[in-house]
Amino acid sequence: MAGQACIRAMRVPVSLILNLVANGKTVAEIIEDYPYLEPEDIQQSLMYAAWLTREQIYPIVGEKAG
């Protein structure tokens, strides 16, 4: 999936799950629409998103031209 984080080995992007939750879908509704998912998959997606917000990105500093 072009480097996107996915649910287990399923090719379901975490971003899809987050978008569904952000738009008000309940876990039960998501499971109804995607019966191969489990409630833990939605929970893990949310935990992954929370982890990403804590990740620190450090820029690579190169030599200055001059």
pLDDT in tens, 14-49: 999 999 999 999 999 999 999 999 999 999 999 999
Question: What Cα–Cα distance (Å) separates residue 54 from each residue in 29, 45, 64?
Answer: 29, 15, 30
31, part of any domain: yes
62, part of any domain: no
Domain that holds residue 34: 14-53
1, part of any domain: no
CA angle 20, 6, 24 (to 5 degrees): 10
Counting the structural domains of the chain, the total is: 1
33, part of any domain: yes
Do the beta carbons of residue 42 and residue 17 sit within 8 Å? yes
9, part of any domain: no
Q: Is the pTM of this model over 0.85?
A: no
5, part of any domain: no
Q: Among positive and negative, which fits the CA dihedral 55, 34, 27, 19?
A: positive
59, part of any domain: no
